[in-house]
Amino acid sequence: MENCIFCKIVAGEIPSQKVYEDDTILAFKDIDPKAPVHTIVIPKAHIASLNEVDGDNLKDIAHLISKIPQIAKEQGVDASGYRVVNNIGRDGGQTVAHIHFHILGGRALQWPPG
């Protein structure tokens, strides 16, 4: 989608540090990491947020979620543990309107979030 920074990363128009890629999803390092491991996982197809997941695109999201443990393992946090975060909309703190899942780990994470 035009002017979507994550679509531009998928298209190679904006560089990223890729950590996993297949036909339908891409994982790359967050540009402003909040933990020693901070990876962003996205579907290559533009979906604005979890609110827009439907019967047509659910397959890509299901595939994405199924790959998170493998990506976490490759990032070295499978045994120590990690958090998967999906922010939705204004109050959820979503700043990029292309659905993405954060993988955070490498330190003890606090709960609850601010």
Binding site partner of 4, from ligand AMP, Zn ion, none, Cβ cut-off 5-8 A by kind: Zn ion
User: What's the closest the beta carbon of residue 32 comes to ligand AMP, in angstroms?
Assistant: 4
98 is catalytic: no
Residue pair 85/65 in contact by the 8 Å Cβ criterion: no
CA distance 48 to 56: 14
Binding segment for Zn ion among 17-25, 46-54, 64-72, 79-87 (CB under 5 A)?
46-54
Minimal CA–CA distance to 43: which of 111, 56, 32? Answer: 56
Nearer to ligand AMP, 55 or 112 (CB): 112
